């Protein structure tokens, strides 16, 4: 993906982010020499109006440097710790609304705006933009306004949205049920995963984890689960941290074995993977292997990367 493309003289600067890049790379292309130069990993940049300086953000630091022709290093960091800014959120959000409306007016591919009275649409939605009290609500209003055009692939997103700190729940990648008589937890199903893929790591299937479907979890970090209202109260904040389970083939502490696992924060990818695998089995069995099943979750990088991984076996 190439973005933030700007130029200064005969040099073009741009950001590049590939599927194998951990972070975005700043690149320069010299039109005179017809040569591309890698300038290193940066978070972002802006070229000064005089075309001689560049403001660069790198590893959380900001610095003003001469227009680079070699890998960027910030030696003189700009200290912004004392900077304060006052914002009138309501005025800012109305301005964002107006700019969104003008962008569609000026750049929509159809001069007749699909027959929509775009001025009237503005008058309809502006009062809503003036009344919103949260950035997400503004995004919703803008999206509804753009939706009046019935134009495909016209999206709105992002913005200065507050991000509250969230405590990550440790998830075991399994479906559990509670034994009514002992209040211990039975492992009904272990979600299979692809443990070489971080987002699809299944904790109970990792090497050295001696756990099977039908086993019971009787304690978490030496705390009996029978005394808990819910097993997950003992896993709060323990995602990606080592947790000790006492596991037994029977719902009792007697004879239980200790197992060390590292819970995950999100099971969504495991459920998706298992859903796809279940569908593959159903289609294969129903058609005696004559029909293959492929699921592409989206048309973004994740979905397109999923496609070649599932196509060859089908």
d(CA 93, CA 101): 12
Q: How far is CA 128 from CA 98, 119, 138, 259, in A?
A: 12, 15, 8, 55
When the pLDDT of each residue in the chain is averaged and rounded to a whole number, the result is 94
Q: What is the pLDDT of residues 156-177, one digit of tens each?
A: 998 988 888 888 999 999 999 9
> Alpha helices, DSSP H only, in the chain?
89-107, 118-131, 135-147, 268-286, 301-310
3-state secondary structure at position 185: strand
Domain ranges of the chain: 2-66, 89-147, 174-261, 268-310
The fold adopted by the segment(s) 174-261 is Pdz3 Domain (2.30.42)
According to the model, what pLDDT value does residue 243 have?
A: 98
Topology of 89-147 in CATH?
Answer: Transcription Regulator spoIIAA (3.30.750)
Q: How many CB atoms lie within 10 A of CB 219?
A: 21
- Predicted TM-score (pTM) of the model is 0.68
Cα–Cα distance list, 32 to 39, 131, 287 (Å) = 18, 52, 61
Residue 314 pLDDT greater than 80, yes or no = no
Residue 150: pLDDT above 90? yes
Average pLDDT score over residue span 12-27: 87
pLDDT in tens, 67-117: 999 999 898 899 988 889 899 999 999 999 999 999 999 999 999 999 999
Length of the chain in terms of residues written:
314
Torsion from C-alpha of 53, 57, 63, 67, nearest 10 degrees? -20
Residue 261 has a CB neighbour count (10 Å cut-off) of 22
Rg, C-alpha atoms of the chain? 27
Whether residue 32 has pLDDT greater than 70: yes
pLDDT of res. 187 = 98
Q: DSSP secondary-structure letter at 227?
A: G
Mean pLDDT, residues 42-50 taken together: 94
Q: What is the pLDDT of residues 173-218, one digit of tens each?
A: 999 999 999 999 999 999 999 999 999 999 999 999 999 999 999 9
Distance between CA 265 and CA 169 in Å, rounded? 6
CA–CA separation, 122 and 152 (whole Å): 20
pLDDT digits (tens, 9 = 90+) for 227-246: 999 999 999 999 999 999 99
Mean pLDDT of 109-132: 97
Residue 8 to residue 11: CA distance in whole angstroms: 5
């Amino acid at each position: 993906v190439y973005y933030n493309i700007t130029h200064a003289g005969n040099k073009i600067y741009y950001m590049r982010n590939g599927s194998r890049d951990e972070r975005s790379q700043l690149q320069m292309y010299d039109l005179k020499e017809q040569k591309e130069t890698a300038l290193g990993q940066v978070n972002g940049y802006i070229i000064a109006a005089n075309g001689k300086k560049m403001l660069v953000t790198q590893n959380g630091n900001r610095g003003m440097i001469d227009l680079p022709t070699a890998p960027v290093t910030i030696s003189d960091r700009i200290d912004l710790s004392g900077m304060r800014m006052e914002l009138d959120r309501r005025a800012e959000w109305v301005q964002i609304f107006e700019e969104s409306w003008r962008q569609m007016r000026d750049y929509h591919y159809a001069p007749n705006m699909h027959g929509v009275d775009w001025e009237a649409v503005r008058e309809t939605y502006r009062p809503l933009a003036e009344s919103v009290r949260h950035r997400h609500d503004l995004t919703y209003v803008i999206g509804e306004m753009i939706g009046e055009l019935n134009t495909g692939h016209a999206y709105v997103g992002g913005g200065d949205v507050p991000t509250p700190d969230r405590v990550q729940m440790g998830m075991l990648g399994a479906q559990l049920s509670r034994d009514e008589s002992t209040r211990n937890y039975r492992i009904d199903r272990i979600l299979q995963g692809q443990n070489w893929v971080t987002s699809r790591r299944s904790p109970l299937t990792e090497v050295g984890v001696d756990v099977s479907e039908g086993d019971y979890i009787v304690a978490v970090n030496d705390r009996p689960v029978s005394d808990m209202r819910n097993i997950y109260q003992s896993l709060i904040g323990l995602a990606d941290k080592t947790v000790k389970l006492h596991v037994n083939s029977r719902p009792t502490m007697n004879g239980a074995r200790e197992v060390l696992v590292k819970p995950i924060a999100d099971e969504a990818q495991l459920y998706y993977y298992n859903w796809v695998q279940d569908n593959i089995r159903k289609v294969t069995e129903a058609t005696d292997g004559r029909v293959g099943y492929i699921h592409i979750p989206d048309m973004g990088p994740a979905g397109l990367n999923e496609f070649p991984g599932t196509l060859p076996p089908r």
